A = this chain, B = another copy of it.
Amino acid sequence: MTESQERWERRTDTPLAVASLLFLTGYAVRVLAPGLSDTWRLLCTAVILASWAFFAVDYAVQLRLSGQGLRFLRSHWLDTLVLLLPLLRPLRIVRRYEAVRRRRARPRLSLYARVIVYAGLTVGLLGFTAALTVYHVEHGAPGASIRTFGDAVWWTCATLATVGYGDVTPVTGLGRLTAVGVMACGLGLLGAATGSFSSWLIQTFAWEDEKRPPES
């Protein structure tokens, strides 16, 4: 990474985080408050568009500074994806959380604590975003079972835990596409929960073996 790239990243870090939260907030307000006055609705749209424009400018500058041309699209495929799905943008805040902790000289969390905090923040943000999207797409569809935002949150929780009652399910194509993403996230969550417990057990065993005096 060249020096100019680093300088750009350092400078845009906080504004981007703020913009991604504004984007999510604007989208949430538009979706959840249908009876909004025209002024407020326009404001929300403006915030959404401005945030997204900021993301696009950031992407363009990074593309330019990298000097990689079209190869940048593949080497930074995650950034490309997030540009197209800006609702996933707030996930970068998870990374910022750690940076802030380090700057304040707080002791770094242990690996387990970090896995739990990361998984918790990621699942919380992704879950909220997924519930918003599914509610937005579904609640007006004919034959929909997800009619209120509460239904959407309930459905998201049941999917993330891979329980899947099926009392409310998405029926539109876009809603089901989002659902597949939520399922993949749920599999990851299961993997994190299981993997953490498993490695904790193995660690504890190794520690008990060392502590014990040799038998012979």
A201, CB-defined interface residue at 8 Å: yes
Instruction: Say how many copies of this protein the assembly contains.
Output: 4
A163, CB-defined interface residue at 8 Å: yes
Give A169 to B115 CA distance when docked, in angstroms. Answer: 31
A167, CB-defined interface residue at 8 Å: yes
Q: Is A192 touching B183 in the complex (CB atoms < 8 A)?
A: no
The number of chain A residues with a CB under 8 A from chain B is: 42
Using CB atoms and an 8 Å cutoff, list the residues of chain A in contact with chain B. 111, 115, 150, 154, 157-159, 161-167, 169, 173, 176, 179-180, 183-184, 186-205, 208
19 contacts between A and B (CB under 8 A): A150-B176, A157-B176, A157-B180, A157-B183, A159-B163, A161-B187, A164-B164, A164-B165, A166-B167, A167-B169, A190-B194, A194-B194, A194-B195, A194-B198, A195-B195, A195-B196, A199-B201, A199-B205, A203-B205
